[in-house]
Structure 1
């Protein structure tokens, strides 16, 4: 089953959800700001995305600029930072059993379907 890591306040995330609704496929909505991912879950998601953790970070967020921007963080430290500050996780992310994609632009989600 598909999973979408969703933030209802984000227009791109809402667009991604609409794509899933129109696909007719079953999916689960995970509001990751309300239900934060564990370090292990986030590590697995990064592996499915096939990216470095830094590529999942929203670098324009205030918390990033004020606390982490100029630090040289390891991948493990980046995962920990995103778990503690889920607002830093790029959105939306759609996941299958084997792969995942960041929905920026939302049309990238269609590649996963």
Structure 2
């Protein structure tokens, strides 16, 4: 089974989640999403695997969220996903993908459900 983590090495929860995965003998594909953001299609697929809508995994305290008025209820899912791809700082982290499922590593132990 391939395990992928959307990772930000500066985030303690992301580092803890990565360590938790590695402690189980798994070597995940690590994607530093701030350097290599997912495509809109990939992000939409991740959201589907999470069973969440874009705003549920957006970092609302980040400047682009406010600057782009992403709280506007008239914005479509596609528009929100496009904003996440254009401004990956908006993506909550870490996200772990394994076995056709995904989990947000908050708390880090939440990812154990899919490993």
TM-score (ref. length: structure 2)? 0.92
Contact 2:99 2:114 in 1 (8 A): no
Q: How does 1:62-73 map to 2 (within 5 A)?
A: 62-72=63-73, 73=75
Which 4+ runs in 1 deviate beyond 3 A? none
Gaps of 5+ in 1: none
**After the TM superposition, which of the residue ranges 82-91 and 56-65 deviates more from structure 2?**
56-65
Q: Aligned residues, how many?
A: 113
| Shift in Å, 1:112 | 1.7
Report the alpha carbon displacement of residue 57 of structure 1 after superposing the two structures with TM: 0.7
TM-score by length of 1: 0.94
The question of 1:110 aligning with 2:100 is answered: no
C-alpha distance in structure 2 between counterparts of 1:96 and 1:85, whole Å: 24
Equivalent residues of 2:70, 2:80 under 8 A apart? no
For residues 54 and 67 of structure 2, the distance between their equivalents in structure 1, rounded to whole angstroms, comes to 19
CA RMSD in angstroms comes to 1.1
- Give the match for residue 89 of structure 2: 87
Correspondence list, 1:21-60, <5 A = 21-60=22-61
Task: Mark the runs of 5 or more structure 2 residues left unpaired by the alignment.
Answer: none
**Which residue of structure 2 lines up, in the alignment, with residue 74 of structure 1?**
76
